[in-house]
Amino acid sequence: MHQKGAIQIIEWEDLDKRKFYSLGVFMTLTTRATVYPFSLIRTRLQVQRGTALYSGTWDAFCKILGAEGMVGLYRGFMVNTFTLVSGQAYITTYELARKYVSNYSPSNTVKSVIAGGSASLVAQTITVPIDIVSQQLMMQGQGEHLTRFKVKPKMAIAASKHNFTFGQTKDIMTQILAADGFRGFYRGYVASLLTYIPNSALWWPFYHFYTERLSRLAPTECPHLLLQAIAGPMAAATASTLTNPMDVVRARVQVNCKLTNPMDVVRARVQVEGRSSVIETFKQLLAEEGMWGLTKGLSARVISSLPTSVLIVVGYETLKRLSLRDDLVQNRHW
């Protein structure tokens, strides 16, 4: 019988690494495929001015599905699958950082904050160029007037016939290189770090905090995995709400949508990724839409984060249990 509140955490040294990585790729791909439509909706909501195109998450879902079909909800998904690399980099960095920090601090909160932030830093360095391209593809269709980069008409026709095509991807990448050079693939990198590092650093400690609290309230015989599956969405909703303003800025900087003021267009093209573009985008957003603009896409983000968190928690905790070293399998209570 386990002690209330004492849910065992499987650490890096407890894992069979071959099982961990082979099963991890499948888990990550399944999760991304499930929540991708909400990511697309969130991006379109955040980039639009006011409610010019969609009035909310449900309205966006219905309009995209009606006008573009299921293909519209998965625009850019094939490119986005390359983030599987960053997913594996994330979990590796997280586990190794926890192990390293444990040499200096026994606090699970400290380990979670540092490891979560470090993992996000590594992952975003890999992910941002992929996000730049996939987000531009997300904006094609009903949202193409909001972005500088558009696929050629022939490419669009081909895409409608054959679902997904890398011809569109090549077209977008060529336009980004021509307009901004290689640095165009890291547009919004600072904004991404300011969004996802805090989000990751907050999610893990909140996740463990909620798990421990639920464990103390639940009956002793309650499965740990069930408690963790509940704690995951709670942590995601908390972290998403706190970091959404920066996520709106990140989307605007990366997509670099059309601006009403010609001087803003010049400034956006001249500015490189970095502090100035983040601050200017933030100021512009506040000037045009006020504080309310900082909540754009929050419902879509929370909605997508809830099932994502359940899948991640159940998948990740199950993955770690299936990847336990053989000599530890019989000694753990789940």
What count of other Cβ atoms lies within 10 Å of the Cβ of residue 49? 15
**More reliable by pLDDT, 241 or 163:** 241
Q: Give the residue-averaged pLDDT of 274-292.
A: 60
Supply the pLDDT for residue 194: 79
Between the alpha carbon of residue 93 and those of residues 36, 81, 269, 287, 302, the distances in Å are 24, 20, 34, 39, 25
Q: What's the mean pLDDT in 281-310?
A: 68
On average, the pLDDT of the chain sits at: 77
- Tokens representing 79 are 């490119």
Structure tokens at 131: 């996000």
pLDDT, residue 281, reads 66
Predicted confidence at residue 160, as pLDDT, reads: 46
Q: Which of 59, 34, 32, 116 is nearest to 297 (CA)?
A: 59
Residue with tokens 């599905």: 65
pLDDT higher than 80, residue 193: yes
The predicted structure's pLDDT at residue 164: 44
Max mean pLDDT range (2-16, 177-191, 268-282) = 177-191
Nearest CA to 36 among 88, 79, 74?
Answer: 74
Cβ neighbours of residue 228 under 8 Å, at least 6 residues apart? 7, 207, 211, 313, 314, 317
Residue that the structure tokens 């992952």 belong to: 123
Which pLDDT value is given to residue 264? Answer: 30
Give the three-state DSSP class for 1. Answer: coil
Q: Is 99 in contact with 12 (CB distance < 8 Å)?
A: yes
pLDDT in the model for residue 327: 79
Q: Which of 125, 141, 164 is nearest to 33 (CA)?
A: 164
Domains of the chain as residue ranges with CATH: 12-331 (1.50.40.10)
pLDDT over threshold 60, residue 276: no
Residues 312-331 pLDDT 10s:
888 888 888 888 888 777 76
Q: Is residue 212 pLDDT above 60, yes or no?
A: yes
